[in-house]
Amino acid sequence: MSDDKDEKKPFSPERITFENRYVTVVGEINDKLAKATSERLLALAAVSDDPITMFISSPGGHVESGDMVHDLIRFIKPEVRVIGSGWVASAGALIFIGAKKENRFCLPNTRFLLHQPSGGIGGKASDIAIQAEQLEIMKARFERIFAEATGQTPEKIAEDTRRDFWLNTDEALAYGLLGKVVSSASDLG
């Protein structure tokens, strides 16, 4: 009879990422992704206060789903390091800046996209007015959050994000969006 300690556990990407305290955010930001990401962050925080590493590659998506993950990164006790790869756009960038600047990393070929929130407005005139007002409130909040995260002014964020605002890694560093470009895990320190 073999002892459980002697038995080799089968390879499982889920087990490996959990044991290494990794979280991946890949694809469109929506309520399902936010739920899965939040549950993983909370589970890892319950296990230990050791740092968590989150990898992000996202075109963005639903702002409030991004808010949920952004706020949870700040809420839990363990430090969360974020590593952008591919592209970090819109609500994906909102999640990215949930981490402290010194914990915001990206791989060399990452691109960032910031822009003002948008939404599909429709319905009665009174409903359209309410939705437009809510977009303005969201826009002002977005400008404040990104200003605090980058060191830019809300006015500068507003000016830059009137249209799609793309940044490569050097531009993201200069803008204050990014803490460091890394090429390998050993660069994390």
Coil, strand, or helix at residue 55?
strand
Coil, strand, or helix at residue 53?
strand
Residue 9 gets which letter from DSSP?
A: P
Question: For the segment 44-57, what is each residue's pLDDT rounded down to a tens digit?
Answer: 999 999 999 999 99
Q: Which of 10-19, 110-119, 127-136, 172-181 has the highest mean pLDDT?
A: 172-181
Minimal CA–CA distance to 23: which of 67, 91, 86, 73? 73
Determine phi and psi for 48, rounding to 5 degrees. Answer: -165, 160
Q: What is the pTM of this model?
A: 0.89
Q: What is the set of active-site residues?
A: 90, 115
